[in-house]
Amino acid sequence: MHHNQTLADAGLQPHQFQGGDLAVSSPIDGAEIGQLVQTRLEDIPKVLDRSEAAFATWRQTPAPRRGELVRLLGEELRAAKATLGAVVTLEAGKITSEGLGEVQEMIDICDFAVGLSRQLYGLTIASERPGHRMMETWHPLGPTLVITAFNFPVAVWSWNTALALVCGNPVIWKPSEKSPLTALATMAAFHRALERFGDAPEGLVQLVIGGADLGAALVDSPRVPLVSATGSTRMGRQVAPKVAQRFGRSILELGGNNAMIVAPSADLDMAVRAIVFSAVGTAGQRCTSLRRLIVHHSLREALVEKLKAAYASLPIGDPRAEGTLVGPLIDHESLARMHAALDQARTEGGIVHGGEQVEGVEGGAYARPAIVEMPGQSDIVCAETFAPILYVMEYDSLDQAIALQNGVPQGLSSCIFTRDLREAETFLSAAGSDCGIANVNIGPSGAEIGGAFGGEKETGGGRESGSDAWKAYMRRATNTINYSDELPLAQGVRFDI
């Protein structure tokens, strides 16, 4: 399988992934690919010390100079795209093009952040007092904790880190225990950028490897003003109250239960292509994966038949093999959860097509993507199962479809396929989708870095990546400057002494 060669090509030396107490396996074949030394809990105060010391220097470094480090990181990622993408495939099980696409996403956010480093801005605001100027300034916030999940082991780190760095913040990265080797390979690229940069403070970006106890210690610490955490809603329920209790900030990217509405005027062939990629890409393990298909009753039968035919042709297997479109689930526990969800769907009246474990693929947890025709939006449909399961329901009116779309606890991504302008605009209006992402004639997954990424309700409300998401990584100060020789008070208050 040449696992060690893949890691060596990405700049990892044997001592970095051998002899530790955290065993890491590849979902491709279940083989162990590393044994990492975990960060000790008693070392967390030292990690925080280094981060705070780095902050004292980095916050005074001009933002365009901070952007230069991110530019160099982008160059290193370009040079390492093929090798780092191969590690993503090895450790997360993504097909080759998706592994490469994740590294490209890192490159893209670096480009965005470099431009941002010359565009951090505040407003000048009209003052009611003569001879006064009011404005706002934005300042670095402090050490930023980034907790990432296995399904996007490096892209989400880059969304946060590229912005945090140009905003003046050091970063502490805790990757998933299921994908720490990808993190090590990414840090190797970052350290090459640091060497070229020349004068960055020590401890600017630190990696901590281990379990929930490390994350809890950092989440609880008042020395970490910002926590950006990606994972399950269950994880978010643990993180958010702890950070709020100490009046810290959270950027939470949690569960998604994303839907597509297929209207009578939809281009069905285009919809089918969008459905298949969105529902089975990354083996259904994207937070933006399509999980619910809400189809007009006049189209349901024809669309289900088209989807069954498309699903039957999907190449499933080793994600490194040419032509493979569906790789493995991350582990056999995920496969068991998928089968449990399908069993529950059957008890709730669902008709299941597919979902069987794929035989003949040694070691990995491979499953055929499932299409489940449901009589309504039952309990299992409202729950997110991180697997390639697509629940199909029908609707009569657009209002009914939107109510189904919004009738789940999660609120990440959504879309409608229609050629009716009124339907499209209604879906995007205040009376339409309640999600953070709402698309027309494009699936719910595959977001670009230029827009802010995140969702509402149990998705957590956070925003990362593009647009003005950078403001979450800074603190705002409102400033008033009196350049007159008077001292008028606001609101006409008089206080003469």
Rounded (10°) angle between helices 421-428 and 398-406:
30
Contact 72, 79 (CB under 8 A): no
pLDDT in tens, 92-131: 999 999 999 999 999 999 999 999 999 999 999 999 999 9
Residue 359 pLDDT level (bands cut at 50, 70, 90): confident
Total count of residues recorded for the chain: 497
pLDDT at 496: 86
In this model, does residue 411 exceed pLDDT 50?
yes
pLDDT in tens, 217-230: 999 999 999 999 99
Contact 289, 266 (CB under 8 A): no
Q: What is the DSSP letter of 316?
A: B
Q: What's the average model confidence in pLDDT over 314-322?
A: 96
What is the distance between the alpha carbons of residues 210 and 183, in angstroms, rounded to a whole number?
12
Q: Give the pair of three-digit tokens for residue 463.
A: 């925003």
pLDDT in tens, 323-357: 999 999 999 999 999 999 999 999 999 999 999 99
In this model, does residue 1 exceed pLDDT 70?
no
Helix, strand, coil content of the chain in percent (nearest 5):
40, 20, 40
| Catalytically annotated residue among 91, 253, 394, 423 | 253
In this model, does residue 216 exceed pLDDT 90?
yes
Note the Cα 123 to chain centre separation in Å. Answer: 30
pLDDT at 428: 98
From residue 142, alpha-carbon distances to 172, 184, 349, 447 in Å are 11, 23, 52, 28
Residue 370 pLDDT level (bands cut at 50, 70, 90): very high
Q: What's the average model confidence in pLDDT over 235-246?
A: 97
Q: Which residues, in sequence order, are CB contacts of 2 under 8 Å at separation 6+?
A: none
Q: Which residues pair with 373 in a beta bridge?
A: 351, 392
From residue 168, alpha-carbon distances to 49, 162, 229 in Å are 17, 10, 19
Q: What is the DSSP letter of 367?
A: B
**Long-range CB contact pairs, 450-454, < 8 A, 24+:** 450/112, 453/159, 453/253, 454/251, 454/253, 454/412
pTM: 0.96
pLDDT at 2: 66
pLDDT in tens, 441-473: 999 998 899 999 999 999 999 999 999 999 999
Across the chain, what does the average pLDDT equal? Answer: 96
Contact 402, 263 (CB under 8 A): no
In this model, does residue 362 exceed pLDDT 80?
no
pLDDT in tens, 273-297: 999 999 999 999 999 999 999 999 9
| Catalytically annotated residue among 110, 167, 287, 435 | 287
pLDDT at 16: 84
Concerning whether 253 is annotated as a catalytic residue, the answer is yes
**Identity of the amino acid at 308:** K
Residue 439 is inside which H or E element, if any?
strand 437-440
Concerning whether 415 is annotated as a catalytic residue, the answer is no
